[in-house]
Amino acid sequence: MHIGVIGTGYVGLVTGACLAEFGLDVTCVDIDGEKIEVLNKGTIPIFEPGLEDLVKKNLKEGRLHFSKDVASAIKNNLVIFVTVGTPSNSDGSCDMRYVKSVAEMIRENANGYKVIVNKSTVPVGTGRWMRKFVAKDVDVVSNPEFLREGAAITDFMYPERVIVGAESEQAIAIMKDIYTPLYLKETPFVITNIETAELTKYACNSYLALKITFINEIANLCEYVGANVDDIAKAMGLDSRIGSKFLHAGPGYGGSCFPKDTEALVNKSKEVGYDFLLLKTTVEANKRQREIAAKKIINALDGEAKGRVVGILGLSFKPNTDDIRESPALYIAKRLIEEGAKVKAFDPVAMDNARLILPQISYEKNAYGVAEKADAIVLAVEWNQFRRLDLVRISKVMEKKIFVDLKNVYDKKQLQSLGFKYIAWGK
């Protein structure tokens, strides 16, 4: 079967490479011609573990192709995956311009029965709108992705479930055919209608965002009552109804999905007349958390950041990615610069992206360069490189020994025994 994938961002690239790995013939297209040139050379413009090898292998074996010609990709393929960006508008609603432009291309170029598969996260109702708008012999399917950046290949190849929202038996059969390698592995499929699949994606991301925000709020409360949030998270996680995942306190969630999807769902709810109170509060509480993190650091500097040197470890929105979209670490760096601090930083892969946003930061070669002459060092992203720092060496090169552990990685007593003033969340 021949598949077209429109949009070669984080999701489109992973989807194209993995479907080719399933043995399908896949053409990935993008309006960004430069990106296509780079991809045809087998180079990946994003950091995603394992992706480069997968793309190179499938390019070589002739199942994966890259092209700028969106029209031909629509004409020549039975199934078209839509994986273009769906960023936020300033009011939090979903910016549908890229999806709309793809729908226009399909309306102009569809030359026979097509299955259009929305993998990008799109507002509820988009699929039904798209089928009406395209007004041709097409079926529209919602097949939302649950890929975590840094683990996207694994998440695609070993999903815990596949959601298919479709209205025609033919489209459902085609989707099952595409996912045969998974189907044979007994991966659970949830086959439902389009709106249900679209809302399921938002429900999952919103619930995960809510769960993270909940433990962040508990962490804040711990500081008022002298409780330990790590122990609480452990004890909560041992209840199978709660589960231990996504109970790690920190400066709040970031990335290109949770912030965007939670705000889009609040917006969509309002649009249809429902006041989604719990999600609105989650969005607000998450915004507050990164501000609390910045204040933690300023308070650790006795309330005065002006003229002080602060080193930040990690700038991406989470480990194993170069993605800095909505990164709490970058927000905190900006706040400290606004307060007049001199900010140094190191990140294993995200510094090139960060430099475009915050050139004022002095970017270092490693964690020890960051610690050099710093009054405070902030662990902002739990990259493995930062989990076993040579703390004696760090303490020797710092001006003051303030350690702000925004991901609760270290042991308080250990740091205090080395003479650090140790600040973290709720412990």
Residue nearest to ligand UDX (CB): 9
CA distance 388 to 372: 18
Does residue 263 bind ligand UDX (CB under 6 A)? no
Does residue 232 bind ligand UDX (CB under 6 A)? no
Tokens read off for 376: 């405070």
Annotated catalytic residue 28:
no
Interaction pattern, residues 295-324, with ligand UDX; x per rule: CB under 6 A? ----------------------xx------
Pick the closer one to ligand UDX by CB: 144 or 311.
144
By the 8 A CB rule, do 79 and 38 touch? no
Does residue 165 bind ligand UDX (CB under 6 A)? no
Does residue 162 bind ligand UDX (CB under 6 A)? no
**Amino acid at position 45, single letter:** P
Q: Which of 4, 9, 123, 426 binds ligand UDX (CB under 6 A)?
A: 9
Interaction pattern, residues 34-53, with ligand UDX; x per rule: CB under 6 A? -x------------------
Q: Provide the minimum distance between the beta carbon of 96 and ligand UDX in the complex, in angstroms, as a whole number.
A: 11
Nearest to 79 by CA among 129, 154, 125, 26: 26
DSSP 161-211: -EEEE-S-HHHHHHHHHHTHHHHTTT--EEEE-HHHHHHHHHHHHHHHHHH
Q: Which of 164, 175, 219, 257 binds ligand UDX (CB under 6 A)?
A: 257
Q: Which of 3, 4, 5, 8 binds ligand UDX (CB under 6 A)?
A: 8
Q: Provide the minimum distance between the beta carbon of 200 and ligand UDX in the complex, in angstroms, as a whole number.
A: 12
Element at 421 (helix H, strand E)? strand 421-423
By the 8 A CB rule, do 15 and 91 touch? no
CA distance 422 to 394: 13
Helices 194-225 and 229-237 pack at an angle, to 10 degrees, of 140
Pick the closer one to ligand UDX by CB: 247 or 309.
247
Q: Provide the minimum distance between the beta carbon of 373 and ligand UDX in the complex, in angstroms, as a whole number.
A: 29
By the 8 A CB rule, do 199 and 128 touch? no
Q: Which of 21, 48, 139, 145 binds ligand UDX (CB under 6 A)?
A: 145
Does residue 68 bind ligand UDX (CB under 6 A)? no
Q: What amino acid positions are annotated as catalytic residues?
A: 257
